[in-house]
Amino acid sequence: MFIDTHCHLDSYEQHSGETLDALFARLPHDPDSNVQAPEAYIHVACDPADFARAQELSEKYANVYTAYGIHPEYVLTETAEDEARLQEYLKHPKCIACGEFGLDYHYGSDTKLEQVKLFERHLELGLATQKPLVLHLREADDDALAVLRSADLRGSKIHVHCFTGSPKFCAQLLDLKYRGASIFVGFTGIVTFKNAQNVRDAAALVPMDQMLLETDSPYMAPIPYRGKPCHSGYIPYIAQALAQVKQIPVEQIYRDCRENTRRCYGI
Q: What is the pLDDT of residues 198-223, one digit of tens each?
A: 999 999 999 999 999 999 999 999 99
How sure is the predictor about 108, in pLDDT bands with cuts at 50, 70 and 90? confident
Distance CA(176)–CA(149), nearest Å, equals 8
The answer to whether the beta carbons of residues 43 and 267 sit under 8 Å apart is no
Torsion from C-alpha of 247, 168, 188, 52, nearest 10 degrees? 150
pLDDT of residue 201: 98
Residue 109 DSSP code: G
Of residues 108 and 10, more confidence is placed in: 10
Answer whether 234's CB lies under 8 Å from 215's CB. yes
Q: For residue range 158-192, list pLDDT tens digits in order.
A: 999 999 999 999 999 999 999 999 999 999 999 99
The mean per-residue pLDDT over the stretch 245-260 comes to 98
Average model confidence (pLDDT) across the chain: 98
Element (H, E) at 13: helix 9-16
Which residue, among 129, 136, 135, 49, has the nearest Cα to 85 in the 3D structure?
Answer: 49
CB-based contact 185:174 (threshold 8 Å): yes
Q: Evaluate if residue 43 carries a pLDDT over 90.
A: yes
Residue 227 pLDDT? 96
Task: Tally DSSP H helices, then E strands, for the chain.
Answer: 10, 8
Q: What pLDDT score does 58 carry?
A: 98
- Residues 127/153, Cβ–Cβ less than 8 Å: yes
Does 60 have pLDDT greater than 90? yes
Residue type, 235: I
Q: Among residues of the chain, what percentage have pLDDT more than 70?
A: 100
